[in-house]
């Protein structure tokens, strides 16, 4: 129900009493193209600096970091790339003293918009940071 982040979701119920879980507070969404070269998951020095500043200023008790891709490569490749990119952001977060609760890679499985154009695919290539308050 809560995608493995038990205790970090807000439980709600529908009118019929069936439970619904909402995601935590999305406090950051980073366009992957600005932090990572194509097919890479290392973050350049300037990107690391920006991320450290973000984690120092955000002030959350913990963070869930999720990686996402567009749909151009195979599912297995996209899952691996999204997880590696999320792990790279988590390493920077931990180096800034942030409490990283969980790191997830969704590949192309949770697009923000349909992968029907280059502009849309760029929006789907992202790393999201969910703040746990």
Q: What is the pLDDT of residues 80-103, one digit of tens each?
A: 999 999 999 999 999 999 999 999
Residue 81 lies in a domain: yes
Asked whether the predicted pLDDT for residue 105 surpasses 70, the reply is yes
Asked which of 1-5, 25-29, 61-65, 71-75 is least confident by mean pLDDT, the reply is 1-5
Residue 99 lies in a domain: yes
Ramachandran quadrant class, 43 (left: phi over 0; alpha: psi -120 to 50; beta: rest)? beta
What is the Cα–Cα distance from 35 to 48, expressed in whole angstroms? Answer: 8
pTM: 0.78
Half-sphere exposure of 11 (CA within 13 A, CB side): 7
- By the 8 A CB rule, do 14 and 7 touch? no
Supply the angle between the helices 45-58 and 75-95 in degrees, to the nearest 10. 60
Residue 79 lies in a domain: yes
Q: Which residues pair with 20 in a beta bridge?
A: 12
Token pair belonging to 75: 């599912």
Residue 19 lies in a domain: no
- By the 8 A CB rule, do 23 and 126 touch? no
Total domains present in the chain: 1
Question: What residue numbers bound the domain in which 97 lies?
Answer: 25-132
Residue 17 lies in a domain: no
Position 17 scores a pLDDT of 61
């Amino acid at each position: 129900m809560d995608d493995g982040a038990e205790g970090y979701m807000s439980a709600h119920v529908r009118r019929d009493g069936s439970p619904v879980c909402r995601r935590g507070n999305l406090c950051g969404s980073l366009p992957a193209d600005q932090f990572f070269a194509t097919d890479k998951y290392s973050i350049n020095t300037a990107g690391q600096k920006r991320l450290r500043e973000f984690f120092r200023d955000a002030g959350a008790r913990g963070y869930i970091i999720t990686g996402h891709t567009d749909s151009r490569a195979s599912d297995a490749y996209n899952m691996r790339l999204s997880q590696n990119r999320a792990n790279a952001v988590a390493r920077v977060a931990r180096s800034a003293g942030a409490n990283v609760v969980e790191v997830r890679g969704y590949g192309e499985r949770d697009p923000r918009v349909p992968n029907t154009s280059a502009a849309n695919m760029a929006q789907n290539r992202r790393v999201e940071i969910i703040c746990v308050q």
